[in-house]
Amino acid sequence: MDSLLQYGGDLISNHPLTEMAYTDPNNNDEFETNIASPSKEDKYSLRPRSVRRVTEVATKPESAPVQKVKNHKPKQKPAPLSKYRRKTANARERNRMREINQAFETLRRVIPQMASTQAAAATAANEKLTKITTLRLAMKYISSLSAALNDPGNVSGFIESAFSDCSDLDCLLLESDGESLPLSDHSSLLASPDFPEPSLSPVDFGDPSTLPNFLHSDFSDHGLEQSDFSDFLLT
């Protein structure tokens, strides 16, 4: 028992705890490394909370007293996942996040890099937009496209105004923040009597040849291929 306590204390004081967290006595690491990026084992370890739990379990007497419950049954806590299942779950989670990131990457390619000083600087520096920035710009861009659909005669004005109202990115992002957007902006994204939802569907965005002319010109103006847009819609 003392050795277990010592072991737990060492675990807490000697980060990283990769040995504890990743070494599988059944050697299931092969599965993990086939999917995960390499050498992550060195970077990640059990959280202190997990370590505490491990040590608590280790220090708990073999025959831990059963909970004293009167009539109702204690809710059975499911047993923790086996190491193998934990690894497979982690791998699935990484894969899921990878797909999300791929979708973000696609979205970044579709969003025009507008005339914002900071965004332009980020582009020049080859820095990619952050996730939250990407989402906010996408919202702004969709809003402008929706407005353009309502008034195809003033397309260029919509696109230009969408990204040039603000002199800096902070202003732009604040405006395109979902919580700070004025209701009027949101309404352009929602179905309304003036802009019912079905009116969006007659155009098959999956087929570039059916893209409206104003979308053609807008995407080409921003150096984007039509396929970028259709790819984005199809993914």
Partner DNA sequence: TAGGCCATCTGGTCCT
Partner DNA sequence: AGGACCAGATGGCCTA
Contact between 186 and DNA by CB under 7 A: the answer reads no
Decide whether 92 or 109 has the Cβ nearer to DNA.
92
Q: Work out the burial of residue 104: count CB atoms within 10 Å of its CB; fewer than 13 is exposed, 13-18 middle, 19 or more buried.
A: middle
Contact between 89 and DNA by CB under 7 A: the answer reads yes
Task: Work out which of 10, 19, 48, 204 binds DNA, going by CB under 7 A.
Answer: 48
Decide whether 43 or 72 has the Cβ nearer to DNA.
43
Contact between 96 and DNA by CB under 7 A: the answer reads yes
Shortest separation between residue 89's beta carbon and DNA, angstroms: 6
DSSP per position, 17-75: -HHHHH--TT--HHHHHHHSPTTGGGT----HHHHHHHHHHHHS-TTPPPP--SSSPPP
Contact between 168 and DNA by CB under 7 A: the answer reads no
List alpha helices for 42-168, DSSP H: 48-59, 83-110, 117-124, 131-150, 155-164
Shortest separation between residue 200's beta carbon and DNA, angstroms: 23
Shortest separation between residue 109's beta carbon and DNA, angstroms: 15
SS3 143: helix
Shortest separation between residue 192's beta carbon and DNA, angstroms: 26
Residues near DNA (CB under 7 A): 15-16, 21, 32, 36-37, 40, 43-50, 53, 77-78, 80-81, 85-86, 88-94, 96-98, 101, 130-133
